[in-house]
Structure 1
């Protein structure tokens, strides 16, 4: 099981954090985090429920991470192992994650797929999302997987859709001409866009688009394993 203690600084004040696997005792806090992170118009039925969380900690506990500060859970990151073919990238979040229930978890998969990442708004200045992502890179390396992959929301796209296609929007983020709170964050975490997918997730701000963002395992030889 994963556990790492670190000290961060918030305006010069030390903040001690614990990165660890989440367990059943954390479920209420994890659902509350979802409520804070994904307010309307994001559909509330897509927030975690306890059946989903139970599957996370039983089917793939290594992919269930959280950060704790002063005994409280303030962020979470969930993954699932899947078999991914880069030549056929199109899919939906529902298909990739079995609707968040991860009943499709494949212990023999080649890819760690990010199901969700959530950080309480009050703690986002600490860089907790990047710390959790780096912890999940450790899981990719430990298991000898080819990559970490996930579909990033594009919450700024609805403001630009009148003049840019979804791909053009992503291109301008990569070039530094535009900023998107999710895609720009994932770029800072070392992930690169490999495809823009239509109807990825019911999400008004992203106009239902998602961008597949990949981090390749630097210790693999680059040969396909699907």
Structure 2
């Protein structure tokens, strides 16, 4: 079922019209441009979305591919797939669980909605768009009667303190409010809860290759 929702977001005190909807082939060029703005050089260009990946998203699981517009301009996107996740064995890498972003391993009968990527254009990052898109995916979890939404969060603030604490200690300090992490703190505000810290989750120098698996459990399961 296609998703479409209109609402207002605020640019400081000024309301702006926004729309949440599924993305389509017509959006591919703009989605790739958004990736280039979110991950500028020296981030490798070959790691931005490509058209084959995006085509798989809208073909294999269109319900899980959404974007948001503000005043008619594409401002961000969120992509998911369904997987069969065992909480007793949580360790995995982003590459293996998302098929390097190609989602050819999407399982229609999986128990978990997994976040492949969320990207917001820098100029729109104070509009609350990420939280709106996450809420739309929570609705999808409930609609499909899944157990949870899950995804691995980067910890980009970890590198600067990694010489004096472990990744686990860093996350604990974020949870206690002693430290703020731009990704983990954002996901906490979206209602996500950390369940595991994974080594070698993603090649990411800022996070020292760690990822924090964070879930939102379906309250109606």
Q: Normalising to structure 1: TM-score of the pair?
A: 0.96
Contact 2:153 2:214 in 1 (8 A): yes
Contact 2:112 2:148 in 1 (8 A): yes
Q: Deviations over 1:111-142 (max 9, x none)?
A: 00000000001000101000100011001000
Change (3 A) 1:60 1:52: same
Give the 5 Å matches for 1:77-88.
77-88=78-89
- Matched with 1:110 is 111
Contact 2:174 2:180 in 1 (8 A): yes
CA distance in 2, matches of 1:132, 1:97: 19
CA positional deviation for 1:8: 1.6
SS at match of 1:125: coil
SS at match of 2:126: helix
Give the 5 Å matches for 1:128-139.
128-139=129-140
- Matched with 1:190 is 191
CA distance in 1, matches of 2:46, 2:192: 28
- Matched with 1:164 is 165
Number of aligned residue pairs: give it: 220
User: Once superposed, which parts of structure 1, at least 4 consecutive aligned residues long, lie more than 4 Å away?
Assistant: none
CA positional deviation for 1:69: 1.7
Segments of structure 1 that go 5 or more residues without pairing to the other structure are 221-226
Which shifted more, 34-43 or 90-99?
34-43
SS at match of 2:181: coil
- Matched with 1:224 is none
Q: Normalising to structure 2: TM-score of the pair?
A: 0.98
- Matched with 1:27 is 28
Contact 1:64 1:78 in 2 (8 A): yes
- Matched with 1:61 is 62
CA positional deviation for 1:42: 3.2
What CA RMSD, in Å, does the superposition of the two structures yield over aligned residues? 0.8
Contact 1:42 1:204 in 2 (8 A): no
Mapped pair 1:199 → 2:200: yes
